[in-house]
Structure 1
Amino acid sequence: MPEKDLRVELLSLTPNALELIFAAFRQCYHAGFVADMWPKLLSGEIDKDKQDQFVSKILESGHDSPIEHVSFTFAIEGISRACSHQIVRHRIASYSQQSQRYVAESDMDYIIPPAIKKIPEARARFEKFMDEVGSAYNDLREILVAAGRESKANEDARFVLPQAAETKMVVTMNCRSLMHFFNLRCCQRAQWEVRIMADKMLKICKEEFPAIFRHGGARCEQLGYCPESERFACGRYPTLKELTENK
């Protein structure tokens, strides 16, 4: 039952992403049919820098629905079930997660919170409990198999598994959903594990598609102030109340 490290890999990005979003934006403001423009976009007749500038300018106006036409697909491993429960709350996305019903957890990997890891006594107790869970899981599976529930042993024994259990998943989100995801999950108030994962995803998005994600991240970075109340603000940016009171 070893500790598992986080890994985020990009599996797929919609082909011709910049051209597609440029075409979608142009159709909103163009009298003609963008399908006639498409061959020019693919051939490079319309400069990519001009496409980038046009898309950025429209995004600054607050018009962002056309970026939904482009999606990213990530493979993620080394996150806890506690983290995956947070991720799947983002509804405009597609998820495929490793099943504890069909995949045996006989040698369960797990995630240790940093606050526990840095305290030797806490880490020792945590790891001892993980060993106890693993032992209970394997004992239950053996008992269930012996009782004739071999095909169902995993799905019943899994009830003792903790939220620390490591999981793997494939996640697909369109750019608009990703921007919202980063607004919330890159915030300092987000839970540490999902924030680290979101930061890794954002780094990939910025490298692959800077036209959209160069300003991605916590909401405060785009607004220039913290949208939280004074009670919840981390202090990195002034709150809106502080800004208005200082004017």
Structure 2
Amino acid sequence: MKVKLICHTPDPERTVAMSARLCYSAVGAEQLVEKMSPDQVAKLVDKIVEMGHLSTFEHVSFTFAVEGVSRVLTHQLVRHRIASYSQQSQRYVKEHDFEYIVPPSVAANPQAAARFAAVMDQVRAAYDELAALGVHQEDARYVLANATETKIVVTMNARSLLHFFELRCCARAQWEIRRLADAMLVEVRKVAPHLFRKAGPTCVTQGLCGEGDLTCGRLDSLNKQGGR
């Protein structure tokens, strides 16, 4: 899996701070941007996070290039609203020699790994046979597996990202999208550490777990350790 933050709103934390300050200021946005020191920006963003007034987070966005992931992952990813996606098309890109993602549970079991690889070989052969019979790739793709590797560009605003991290950094999230979320969080913290200081699963950020009997137990562990 490759995850890279390829672009974002310039000076995102200053933009958020300016947007928040504007609500209570008689001067315009341009003057506010110039007046606030880096320390004032950081303190205001921290205060906004603590208060949960996150509408100003919608003014900044982050764009990621993601490679080496499966269609299983992207089918989950595109369910997240307030986001933009551009994915490699199986309709126009020939998949006769496609790469595929092997789940860790399969890779750790030699017999399962061998069976998995054999099925992928069969899928490749079927795809090639359909193409040889004159079937266009837009229809030949119907035989492809969910494991097929894909690439996608993802853009989310900061508020949507916080929600995404709450759900997908959770230990109960499916393993592949959890890896993606963890990697995306690392990337945004490099450029906006205050915006995403408290980002993560709700057990960490809010002291709450909505998984009920399916909880991983992390919240209890945090409470015992005084980790919140």
Q: TM-score range by the shorter chain?
A: over 0.9
Residue number in structure 2 paired with 1:203:
186
Q: Aligned-pair distance for 1:215?
A: 1.1
| Structure 2 CA distance for aligned equivalents of residues 144 and 130 of structure 1 | 21
Map 1:83-232 onto structure 2 (within 5 A): 83-144=73-134, 153-229=136-212, 231-232=213-214
What letter matches 2:147 in structure 1?
Answer: A
Matched, 1:21 2:16: yes
Select which of 7, 11, 28 maps to 2:6.
11
Residue number in structure 1 paired with 2:55:
65
Q: May I ask how many residue pairs the two structures share in their alignment?
A: 223
Per the normalisation by structure 1, the TM-score is 0.87
SS in 2 for 1:202: helix
Judge conservation of contact 2:21–2:32 (CA < 8 Å) in 1: no
SS in 1 for 2:180: helix
What letter matches 1:172 in structure 2?
Answer: T
Q: Superposition RMSD on alpha carbons, in Å?
A: 1.6
Judge conservation of contact 1:22–1:54 (CA < 8 Å) in 2: yes
What letter matches 1:70 in structure 2?
Answer: V
Q: Aligned-pair distance for 1:159?
A: 0.3
Judge conservation of contact 1:182–1:218 (CA < 8 Å) in 2: yes
| Structure 2 CA distance for aligned equivalents of residues 140 and 221 of structure 1 | 50
Map 1:231-246 onto structure 2 (within 5 A): 231-238=213-220
Judge conservation of contact 1:101–1:155 (CA < 8 Å) in 2: yes
Give a deviation string over 1:142-184, Cα, whole Å, max 9, x none: 1015xxxxxxx11010000010000000000000000000000
Give a deviation string over 1:33-92, Cα, whole Å, max 9, x none: 223323x15xxxx32122111111122111001011110000001110010000000011
Give a deviation string over 1:106-139, Cα, whole Å, max 9, x none: 1010000100110000000000000000000011
Q: Aligned-pair distance for 1:227?
A: 3.2
- Where does structure 1 lack aligned partners over 5 or more consecutive residues? 1-5, 146-152
What letter matches 2:190 in structure 1?
Answer: E
- Identity rate, percent: 49
What letter matches 1:238 in structure 2?
Answer: D
Select which of 63, 75, 80 maps to 2:70.
80
SS in 1 for 2:194: helix
- Where does structure 2 lack aligned partners over 5 or more consecutive residues? none
Judge conservation of contact 2:83–2:160 (CA < 8 Å) in 1: yes
Per the normalisation by structure 2, the TM-score is 0.94
Structure 1 runs of 4+ with >6 Å offset: none
Judge conservation of contact 2:62–2:157 (CA < 8 Å) in 1: yes
Residue number in structure 1 paired with 2:46:
56
Q: Aligned-pair distance for 1:32?
A: 2.8
Give a deviation string over 1:192-215, Cα, whole Å, max 9, x none: 000001100001111111010111
| Structure 2 CA distance for aligned equivalents of residues 94 and 21 of structure 1 | 20
